[in-house]
Structure 1
């Protein structure tokens, strides 16, 4: 926050073992699918030569197994490379989830940053989708009908239904460990956890005062009506400023 950067960390460190590491199954290849794949190869001479060199002419003519193996290998290689090379930064639609505050903010001692989506990085974020079953990939659509990168990228934004409470969006960078700077105006709010120490709140408020005085500060507390965190807007006035404005009581009072 002080350096005004969004960090793109390695998905290898995510706590969900399936996150960005799915091994999807391949949808059954029908006779019609096989014909479409053959036509696709014939329209891509370089790829066709590669297939012939690896599998021979006979396999190229009729082997469903060949297309299955090639499709699976392409997907697995893409996922492996993604895990090693790409960086991911995660965001949520929610600021009041008790589970989020417990899991990601040192048991409600941390804070939550609110950003405006006007920054470039937020123009490219993708919504995470949640489902019960591991995705099944249609390699005919992947090769012939749809955008290959879109189908693969959807895998990086698919998680188990168990995580649906996060209501997550994520930004993906081509290089892991990247720190992407944002202007001070992009940060619009800071939400302090119910158990954050006052001295930490004070330090953060002083930092923000020197960066963007328009950032709104919110103090969290445990809701008395639901299992959630609720917030009330607060203001922070530094000691010297309060003294100048006569907001402090004198020692004689």
Structure 2
């Protein structure tokens, strides 16, 4: 059983869309066609050449079914083991291509990470240190079905029985949660939606923290705090600073007080 971290994070460049999503409590499930990794969700796995026993097992399974989803009944009855092996490899390749193409053009994906202080993540996804990193409580939806990304040096192997007979559809599904080891620093988790472009509205308590990049301007920081002050009483705020001794970002929690309230309290001019 996969153990989901209690908190997951989402880096965001601070722009009008991000502010709208924060205000609307929206997680956006975008199309993987826009991902910056050309292999992402578009893997062509290595289809393992089946041995004679596997070929004959697939033949028997197909002949035992009233409906055949690949080929024609007489082919399973008349082809030699080698001829059937070649046919199954072609069919598995075709099915995999159709499956991945359909996923790319229909499904939505939203991505999270286990880390809130990664330098590359802040650079690539956090608006070059001028954005925010949102912290979510994973005990709320949609995190109950979230999956970790697996990192590998090589493309995954799949067997024809997994593809054509559906004996292990989890292995096929893992194609969409597998990336090169080059991306392992991201420590990514993914949630999926059946329809790309879907906006999922999460409960306010799901957002537990906001980490502001070291280079964010004060006006942008205050805009985010003002938005959340009107809809989330428990969210916590952290301001990032560059460490003077290490290559890292350090965060310190702060309390946000709106200007008018601070003025009434005598804490602002």
Same fold at TM > 0.5: yes
Does the CA contact (< 8 Å) of 2:30 and 2:108 recur in 1?
A: yes
> Offset of 1:146 from its aligned partner?
3.2
Q: Is the 8 A contact 2:63 2:76 kept in 1?
A: no
Shift in Å at residue 14 of structure 1? 0.3
TM-score (norm 2): 0.87
Equivalent residues, number:
247
Please state if 1:132 is matched with 2:156: no
Equivalent residues of 1:125, 1:171 under 8 A apart:
yes
- Rate the CA distance shift 1:45–1:109 in 2: closer, same or farther, 3 A: same
Who is 2:49 aligned against?
A: 28
Equivalent runs, 1:60-209 vs 2, <5 Å: 62-144=83-165, 146-148=167-169, 150-209=170-229
1:46-95 CA deviation, whole Å, 9 max, x = no partner?
126x5216957533865100111111111110000000000100000000
Gaps of 5+ in 1: none
Secondary structure in structure 1 of the residue aligned to 2:253: strand
For the residue of structure 2 that corresponds to 1:137, the secondary structure is strand
The structure having more radius of gyration, on CA atoms, is: 1
CA contact (8 A) 1:51 1:60 kept: no
For residue 141 of structure 1, report the CA deviation from its aligned partner: 3.8
Task: Quote the RMSD (CA, aligned, Å).
Answer: 1.8
Q: TM-score, normalised by structure 1?
A: 0.92
- Per-residue displacement from partner, 1:2-56 (whole Å, max 9, x unpaired)? 11010000101100000000011211210111121112112322126x5216957
Partners of 1:106 and 1:17 in 2: how far apart?
A: 22
Q: 1: CA distance between counterparts of 2:201 and 2:39? A: 29
**Separation in 2, partners of 1:135, 1:30:** 19
